Amino acid sequence: MVNKKQMYDVIVIGAGAAGMMCAATAAERGKKVLMIEQSKKPGRKILMSGGGRCNFTNLYTTHENFLCSNPHFVKSALSQFNQWDFQALVIEAGINWHEREHGQLFCDDTAADIVKLLLDRCDKSGVELLKNCTLENVSGQQPFVLDTNQGQLNAKSVVIATGGLTVPSMDSTDIGHRIFRQYGHKVIPLRPALVPFILQEVSNGPLKILAGISLPVAISCNKKSFSEALLFTHKGISGPSVLQISNYWNKGDSISIDLLPDENAADWLMNARETHPNRMISTQLAKQFPKRLVEALMPLWKISDGPLGQMKKQLQQQLIDCLQSWELTPTGTEGYRTAEVTIGGVDTDGFSSKTMQSKKAPGLYVVGEVLDVTGHLGGFNFQWAWSSGYAAGMAIK
């Protein structure tokens, strides 16, 4: 039973990945911890993650897997609690897991195993959990006064772990960002990331028929490039390569797609031309790509069909350019509804990278996605939640 009148050492706002990790870590150090959660179910984003199997970390995590205005900020927390530390917790809890490509670790059975791991740790260490409790405002400082829909709460320290704006149906809000603004912190503008693109050519144009086609590509934008699968959707493009590059895309930017990521397009075409001069261009393309894709791309790229051997130099170069760097300008993204993360957030500049404590308001901490730290696709965002949650949990006085 939560005693709302008492002065807690720390109140953690939000029982998500970062909040639960932080609460358990602080309570294991003997702190009197209350964690409040607006919904009746902690860890809802964990439950829906990784297709229900939670890609809980990545074996190759380094600071280079994160976008942040200060690229060095994540280093300290990552070194205090790294991917192997979380993997060890998973093993200790008896959760079956497996590794997928690029070092991504997933649960064998269900993401609920990860939520249980965190809740068990909170429970064992004596964290008090108040569900259906929504933070409305924070005022004062050491002690802090918290206004909630269940009345006022008091704590010597407060950890904001309210996450980002993705999945609006889960009542995701910018409350965390607003509170930090109140305490004089800057917020780097927010936008959805790890998110599919909308393309006019697909949603309302000649590529509409491609929905469901998936192929390996390399996508580039703003000097970043990712080689993974691309998937055509009903509205545009998705798949790992697209989600990854969306972190680096700003409205108005074009993206460049290399449809032959493992080959040199010029060599590929010249070899075919020499060995099969009578082969039609469309036949050659269909040897490499799905037929539907070839039928849609040739008219879009203005490539008229004919024998490879009779291709004019200009047409040949045009095809090579299109294959190697197909330029597209997304009209937008699918937004927070389908995004996995929020890019931007509370500026790390005002915080200690070692403790996650505010330099402007001692006793006020920030962890997880509410900060201006965004991971690549592949388990890095959860690793940031674990690492930042741990760092704050170890530092709370």
Ligand X SMILES: Cc1cc2nc3c(=O)[nH]c(=O)nc-3n(C[C@H](O)[C@H](O)[C@H](O)COP(=O)(O)OP(=O)(O)OC[C@H]3O[C@@H](n4cnc5c(N)ncnc54)[C@H](O)[C@@H]3O)c2cc1C
Contact positions vs ligand X (CB under 6 A): 13-19, 36-39, 44-45, 48-50, 54-55, 134-135, 161-163, 166-167, 173, 175, 340-341, 368-369, 379-382, 385
The count of C-alpha atoms lying within 13 angstroms of the C-alpha of 359, restricted to the half-sphere facing its C-beta, is 11
Q: What minimum distance in Å lies between the beta carbon of 379 and ligand X?
A: 5
What is the Cα–Cα distance from 390 to 384, expressed in whole angstroms?
A: 10
Would you say 54 or 129 has its CB closer to ligand X? 54
3 state SS for 53-113? CCEEEECCCCHHHEECCCCCCHHHHHHHCCHHHHHHHHHHCCCCEEEEHHHEEEECCCCHH
Q: What minimum distance in Å lies between the beta carbon of 54 and ligand X?
A: 6
Per-residue tokens: 238: 């998705």
What is the Cα–Cα distance from 387 to 384, expressed in whole angstroms?
A: 5
Q: What minimum distance in Å lies between the beta carbon of 202 and ligand X?
A: 22
What is the Cα–Cα distance from 215 to 242, expressed in whole angstroms?
A: 12
Would you say 320 or 343 has its CB closer to ligand X? 343
State in Å, rounded, how far the first CA of the chain is from the last one. Answer: 24
Would you say 260 or 385 has its CB closer to ligand X? 385
Would you say 151 or 277 has its CB closer to ligand X? 151
Q: What minimum distance in Å lies between the beta carbon of 48 and ligand X?
A: 5
What is the Cα–Cα distance from 72 to 63, expressed in whole angstroms?
A: 7
Would you say 284 or 333 has its CB closer to ligand X? 333
In the bound state, the residue with its beta carbon closest to ligand X is 16
Q: What minimum distance in Å lies between the beta carbon of 251 and ligand X?
A: 21
Q: Are strands 197-198 and 187-193 parallel, antiparallel or unpaired?
A: unpaired
Q: What minimum distance in Å lies between the beta carbon of 258 and ligand X?
A: 26
Closest CA to 199 of 327, 99, 20: 327
Would you say 363 or 368 has its CB closer to ligand X? 368
